[in-house]
Amino acid sequence: MTRRLTWTLLALTSVLLVLAVVPLAVLMTARERVTFRDDQRAATRVIAAAAEEHLSDHKPPTAMRRELDAAARAGDCAAAYDTSARVVASTPCRAAQGEEADELVKDVLAGQEPEPPENEGRLLAAEPAGEVRRPAGAVVLARSAAPLDARTAAIWGWSAAIGAAGLGASVLLSVRLARWVNRPLSALDATSRKLGEGALDERAEVDGGPPEVRRLAATFNTMAARTEALVHGHRAMIADVSHQLRTPLAALRLRLDVLRTGAEGETAAELDAAQQEIARLSRLVDGLLAVARAEQATPRPTAVRVDEVVTERVAAWSPVAEERGVRLSASEGPALTASLGSGHLEQILDNLVANALDAVPDEGGVAVGYRLARDSARVWVRDDGPGMTDGEKAVAFRRFGNPEARGTGLGLAIVHRLVTANGGSARLEDTPGGGLTVVMDLPLRTEEP
């Protein structure tokens, strides 16, 4: 963002400098040229006035010679012409004579305003000696354009220097302004990323930057504080509920065990049924607590080798599958590294494999696989059990979404919460030939620079 702001301000400043400096330099150059030509024409008129006394009044050419000598000392070349366009007097320099000078003289003697050309670095000027319409002669003065070129170069040089100085100042101001704006935004971005990764005590600095950014940082800190309070409150409530429910359930189970020891007949059967309900209630409480923890999960992403976790969890569940007569297998795939919370993939696979083993009949099959899918790691658990209808799949990720489930009905809800909390997605598909396939797209691990 700093670079974009800097380049934008530099481009804007450059355009403004060009629009301001270039027209000013052009205007000053044109003014210098006009001043130079006016001075040249004034010097030409002085010589023309002296030449008129000689050509029209037939006075001695003393004054005309004196002015020509003064022009020569000034570095100019001049020549006086009579009405026949013949040179009557001139400086030693012959630059005021020639074809271009003759054309100017003809225009002046004809009573026209000539357009003076530039001849080999010299500017020519022609003025009538006497009246404009009936001149007694003409004077041509050639002056070197070097002083004009020097002043023009100086104007453009100073303009370029001013533009460069303005551009340099703009660079410094643009960089400082961009950093002043971007530094607190970058810090806020880093803080929000850490907060999203689970560091609930992270807060943004509100000291630097524009007032709007400082207000944004203050608002963010307020939101972070409320989020931290809510999460900690929920975690405390879960801990309290876990303690308050598990303790009486354990005590009740012990009492039923004591009563079962000496019971016989129908009493023993009723106590066995009560123990089963107590066990089911314990599993239900554990499932609800697991869902609550998954919903409040703010994982810190770590590098998780998907292939290693899949292999390890399939090996761990293989004895259970063998005991139930179910084929449990893992397909081979590339080495993938996902970005997940610590232990989340293991918990996800445990819930999915447990659900699949409960769903498939004897001699059924459960397969766990993974592969690379664009920018994510795709993991699936496929079984050949009874599957689900479209209506059941639509509510399967909710708590108790499947009322006919053999277990607590919370396994898929836990899976969905853990997957989405880590920035992934989960969906249910039909297994070809019958059954259910749970497909998950998990974020890949990208190495930070």
Write a three-state SS string for 187-243.
HHHHHHHHHHCCCCCCCCCCCCCCHHHHHHHHHHHHHHHHHHHHHHHHHHHHHHHHH
Tokens representing residue 211 in the block: 């007032």
Tokens representing residue 261 in the block: 């020891």
Per mean pLDDT, which range of 112-116, 151-155, 356-360, 405-409 is the poorest? 405-409
What span, in angstroms and rounded, lies between the C-alpha atoms of 444 and 423? 10
Residues 307 and 265 in one domain: no
Average pLDDT over residues 185-212: 79
For residue 99, is it within any domain?
yes
Terminal C-alpha separation, the chain: 18
Average pLDDT over residues 394-400: 76
Q: Residues 322, 324, 327, 328: what is their CA dihedral angle, to the nearest 10 degrees? A: -80
For residue 387, is it within any domain?
yes
Tokens representing residue 83 in the block: 């009405």
The closest alpha carbon to 86, from 137, 132, 142, 51, belongs to: 137
With beta carbons less than 8 A apart as the criterion, state whether 297 and 344 touch: yes
The tally of domains found in the chain comes to 3
For residue 70, is it within any domain?
yes
Residue 178 pLDDT > 50, yes or no? yes
CATH number of residue 418's parent domain: 3.30.565.10
Q: Which residues pair with 437 in a beta bridge?
A: 382, 429
Report the range out of 175-179, 298-302, 304-308 with the highest average pLDDT.
304-308
Residues 276 and 303 in one domain: no
For residue 177, is it within any domain?
no
Residues 267 and 345 in one domain: no
Residues 53 and 70 in one domain: yes
For residue 179, is it within any domain?
no
pLDDT at 83: 86
CA 248, chain centre distance (Å): 58
pTM over 0.75: no
Last residue of a domain, one of 293, 327, 357: 293
Average pLDDT over residues 367-395: 88
For residue 389, is it within any domain?
yes
Residues 287 and 348 in one domain: no
CATH number of residue 224's parent domain: 1.10.287.130
Domain that holds residue 116: 2-150
Residues 319 and 393 in one domain: yes
Average pLDDT over residues 298-306: 81
CATH number of residue 62's parent domain: 3.30.450.20
pLDDT at 28: 92
What span, in angstroms and rounded, lies between the C-alpha atoms of 358 and 408? 12
For residue 42, is it within any domain?
yes
Last residue of a domain, one of 150, 169, 201: 150
Q: What is the tens place of the pLDDT at every residue in 13-44?
A: 888 888 888 888 899 999 998 899 889 889 98
Please list, in sequence order, all residues whose beta carbon lies within 8 angstroms of the beta carbon of residue 132, skipping any fewer than 6 positions away.
111
- What mean pLDDT value characterizes the chain? 83
Residues 435 and 332 in one domain: yes
Residues 312 and 386 in one domain: yes
Residues 100 and 35 in one domain: yes
Residues 59 and 145 in one domain: yes
Average pLDDT over residues 234-263: 74
With beta carbons less than 8 A apart as the criterion, state whether 326 and 359 touch: no
Residues 429 and 365 in one domain: yes
Last residue of a domain, one of 150, 176, 200: 150
- Rg of the chain over Cα atoms, rounded to whole angstroms, equals 49
Residue 407 pLDDT > 70, yes or no? no
Average pLDDT over residues 184-196: 82
Report the range out of 179-193, 219-233, 254-268, 327-341 with the highest average pLDDT.
327-341
Residues 264 and 340 in one domain: no
3-state secondary structure of 270: helix
Q: Do the bridges between strand 365-373 and strand 327-330 make them parallel or antiparallel, or are there none, so unpaired?
A: parallel
Residue 70 pLDDT > 80, yes or no? yes
For residue 260, is it within any domain?
yes
Please list, in sequence order, all residues whose beta carbon lies within 8 angstroms of the beta carbon of residue 419, skipping any fewer than 6 positions away.
348, 425, 426, 440, 442
